[in-house]
Amino acid sequence: MSVLIYIDNTDGKFKKAGFEAVSYGVALAAQAGSEAVAVSLGNVAEAELLKLGNYGVSKVLSSTDERFASMDNQAAAKALAFAAAKVGAEIVVLAHNNLGKAIAPRLAVKLQAGLVSNATGLPLNLSPFTVNKNVFTGKAIGHAVVHTAVKVLTLSYNSYGVVEKPVSVNIEAFDAGLGDADFGLKVEQTQKVTGKILLSEAEIVVAGGRGMKGPENWGGIEELAEILGAGTACSRPVSDEGWRSHGEHVGQTGKIIAPNLYFALGISGAIQHLGGVSGSKVIVAVNKDPDAPIFEAADYGIVGDVMKVLPQFIEAAKELKA
């Protein structure tokens, strides 16, 4: 019996969401009295695989088949089902990111498993297997009960955290035996956003809303984000107006984020916006309207002109980082 943790890579590198999934899986295995096993698909160097030991997993299955680089959901699900059978996995954990979300439902069908996506913590109970998950886009929590013998979970980002617990790692190569027919996707082009902190990974996010008045005023947001090593985001009206790209829209129908610190600058905090950011650990709001709903969700707030406040934030952040 074991807990299998899938850790995805981007160009051979693991990311925080994966380390968090490993940390979670290790704790889950301890709770269930079983063994945690990580599995990696694609061309990942040994040095990178060894890093997983920092988060408490001592056994890593690795299939270095380069064809996984196309991030083919069907092929990945097949390979993970193979790995799950190999280690007798009772529970499979994936990060709730683009790839995890895509693979998990296919894998659950293959394993005849119940799927809980967006799980937010360790099981409340192992029998019946009960785990909390976000529902209504963060506006409520559901206590999901899984009735099947095998379970698949995707872990909501930043809901558990990365826990360091160094152990030595035993890497085991495996071949899932996939044919070329299993890889149906042909990648033509990949565009990477370079030099920017990814919203999905950012520990800190600085977001602007309509209160910023226009795209010409985003310089301050970008400067603050750069000083703090933060990602930049915006509210829906801002992306609808074309001031910023849709990729920056956070909210119920845009990206759902859960950073440690979220700055809402000139964002009134419509219920759809709050749905996308309510998982943030600390929310700072600046808005000239004292009755803006964002202040209900915020931990720290300033009622005032964001144009006056932002330069002070930048100055204070500079001092802090100096």
Partner 1 sequence: MNFEFTEEQLMIQQAARDYAQRELIKDVLERDATATFPTHHVKALAELGFMGMMVSPDYDGTGLDAVSYVLAMEELSKIDASVSVIVSVNNSLVCYGLEKFGNETQKNKYLKPLARGEKIGAFLLSEPEAGSDATSQRTTAEDKGDYYLVNGTKNWITNANSASTYIVITQTNAAKKHKGITALIVEKDSPGITLGPHEDKMGMRSSDTHSVMFNDVKVPKENRIGEEGFGFTFAMKVLEGGRIGIASQALGLASGALERATAYAKERKAFGTVIANHQAIAFKLADMAVKVENARNLCLKAAWLKDQGKPYGIASAMAKQYAADIAMEVTTEAVQIHGGYGYVKEYHVERLMREAKLTQIYEGTSEVQKIIISREQLK
Partner 2 sequence: MKILVLIGNVPDTTTKIKFNADKTAFDAAGVQWIINPWDELALTRAMELKEAPGSKVESVTVANVGRQETEATLRKALAIGADKAIRVDADARDAFYVASQLAKVCQGFDLIFAGVEASDYNGAAVGGMLAELLGMQSVSAVSGLQAEEGFVRITREIEGGSQTLTAATPLMAIVQKGIAKEPRIPAMRGIMMARSKPLEVLSPVDTETRVSFASFDLPPAKAACKKFSEEQAKELIHALRDEAKVL
Helix (H) or strand (E) holding 39: strand 35-41
Instruction: For residues 279 and 260, give the distance between their C-alpha atoms in angstroms, rounded to a whole number.
Output: 9
Helix (H) or strand (E) holding 316: helix 306-321
Paired strand residues for 250: 255
Partner that binds at residue 291, options partner 2, partner 1, none, CB closer than 5 to 8 Å by kind: partner 1
Partner that binds at residue 287, options partner 2, partner 1, none, CB closer than 5 to 8 Å by kind: none
Count Cβ atoms within 10 A of the Cβ of residue 130 and give its class: 0-12 exposed, 13-18 middle, 19 or more buried.
Answer: middle
Helix (H) or strand (E) holding 9: strand 9-10
Six-digit token string for 187: 């990648």
Closest CB to partner 1 among residues 23, 287: 287
Supply the minimum distance, in Å, between the C-beta of residue 107 and partner 1.
Answer: 38
67 lies in the binding site for partner 2 (CB under 8 A): no
213 lies in the binding site for partner 2 (CB under 8 A): no
Residue with structure tokens 């899986």? 25
What is the phi-psi region of residue 158: left when phi exceeds 0, alpha when psi lies from -120 to 50, beta otherwise?
left
Supply the minimum distance, in Å, between the C-beta of residue 58 and partner 2.
Answer: 26
Supply the minimum distance, in Å, between the C-beta of residue 268 and partner 1.
Answer: 10
Count Cβ atoms within 10 A of the Cβ of residue 244 and give its class: 0-12 exposed, 13-18 middle, 19 or more buried.
Answer: buried
Supply the minimum distance, in Å, between the C-beta of residue 283 and partner 1.
Answer: 18
Supply the minimum distance, in Å, between the C-beta of residue 309 and partner 1.
Answer: 20
Using CB under 8 A as the binding rule, the residues of this chain from 275 to 294 that contact partner 1 are 290-293
Using CB under 8 A as the binding rule, the residues of this chain from 151 to 210 that contact partner 2 are 154, 184-193, 198, 200-201, 204
Q: How many residues does the chain have?
A: 322
Partner that binds at residue 58, options partner 2, partner 1, none, CB closer than 5 to 8 Å by kind: none
Using CB under 8 A as the binding rule, the residues of this chain from 251 to 280 that contact partner 2 are 252-254, 260-261, 270-272, 275, 278
Q: Of 50, 48, 39, give the one whose Cα is nearest residue 8.
A: 39
242 lies in the binding site for partner 1 (CB under 8 A): no
Region binding partner 2 by CB under 8 A among candidate stretches 37-45, 48-56, 169-177, 311-319? 311-319
215 lies in the binding site for partner 1 (CB under 8 A): no
Instruction: By CB under 8 A, name the binding residues for partner 1.
Output: 290-293
